[in-house]
Structures are given as C-alpha cells and as structure tokens.
A and B are shown apart, each in its own frame.
Chain A
C-alpha cells in the first residue's frame, strides 16, 4: 500500500542554519504531496503542497519539490528561526483521493 517515510528526529539547529527534512513516498499512480506543521499545543496546519511531478510548493520561506524520479518531497528552508520550532509531517493523498497518509513526524528545535 501507499506509505510515507520521513527523517527521524529530533532535529536541532542553530538560528539561521539551513534546514532539510527528508521525505520519500511509495504510491501507485500520481499522488498529491503535502507538508503539514504542528506548533506546540495546536492541530496540524498545511504548510505547502504539490499536486504533480516537478511542482514546487512554497510558503513562509519553506520549499519542497515533487520529484517523481526519486519519489521524494524534501522540505527545505534557507535560514531557520526560533519560531520554526515545531513538528513537521510529510503526507500524500492517493490518486483516488480517498485518504491522506501521514509520515511519522519530525520534531525540529531551533536554538537562538
């Protein structure tokens, strides 16, 4: 079945460092791909998405490119801030649009 594998955390970086959180997927057909963020004490919020190969999703300085050849959707940010500290979830929605499958989450902590 479809699945999402993302980088295990926790990831700890200093402010202004470059961030990469790896995400790979297994799916039949052409899924849509998402990154969600969960700040402490809150629900998940959609951060960005991409619906077809080579699409780049971007929001709040974060970017991810849908790479069909490597089945990947890595999250990147050039300069992280303390306020980016949160849990990040990679997810896919299969082409039948029945359910969304989430990765296990990556906790990110940014030191001032």
Chain B
C-alpha cells in the first residue's frame, strides 16, 4: 500500500491569504509531482521534482511555488490565493522508473 499523505484534505480560505499544501511520502521515492485537477476531471501537471533541491514547472502554468528540501516532503505554496485557484490538488510520487502513487488530494476553495 502506498504511503503518501496530503494535508489538509479540505481548505476554504479568503482571497489574498497565503496557503501551503503539504505532501509527504514514506517510500523514499526520488520523484514527486503536483497536479491540478479541474471539475472536468483532467489532470494538469503543475510542478515536479526529481530529487532534493530539484524543482521544475509542469505543463500548466501555475502561480504556485514548490520546494524540495527533504526527499519525503514536497509542499506547494500560494502566496496570495484567488478564486481562480479553486481546484483539487493531487500530489504523487514515483521511483525512478515505476508507476506513480497518489495522495488523497486537497480540495481548495478560495472565496
């Protein structure tokens, strides 16, 4: 069973607030990913990391930022939340050449 955790599961916040979505995995995977999932279900890769101190932007432009200071931790930060950031955010990890394991997701609502 995959051990990848996301907190909070649900977050409702006002416009302009700074938020950090947490993602941790205990599998020792080098690769980690953040996806944004719109109501139409499609997944959009917004950030990924291939190891400590390595971060890259994904296919979909995002105002969020990420950091990878420890192998197991890959937080995503929004400096100033806006209603357009309302979405489901999914974190995933994978070994070098294996399938991705997903966390349960964080559903973010910005009022």
Contacts and interface: CB of A to CB of B under 8 A. Distances in A.
Contacts of B105: 41-43
A89 B6 CA distance: 21
A107 B90 CA distance: 18
Interface residues of B, number: 19
State the majority secondary structure of interface residues on A. strand
A102 B104 CA distance: 18
Contacts of B96: 97
B42 A49 contact: no
Interface residues of A, number: 21
A105 B41 contact: yes
B43 A102 contact: yes
A43 B99 contact: no
B42 A104 contact: yes
A74 interface: no
A97 B101 CA distance: 15
B45 A45 contact: no
A43 B90 contact: yes
A34 B41 contact: no
B100 interface: yes
Contacts of B43: 89, 102, 105
Interface of B: 6, 40-43, 45, 48, 90, 92, 94, 96-97, 99-105
Interface of A: 32, 34, 36, 38, 41-46, 49, 87, 89, 93, 97, 99-100, 102, 104-105, 107
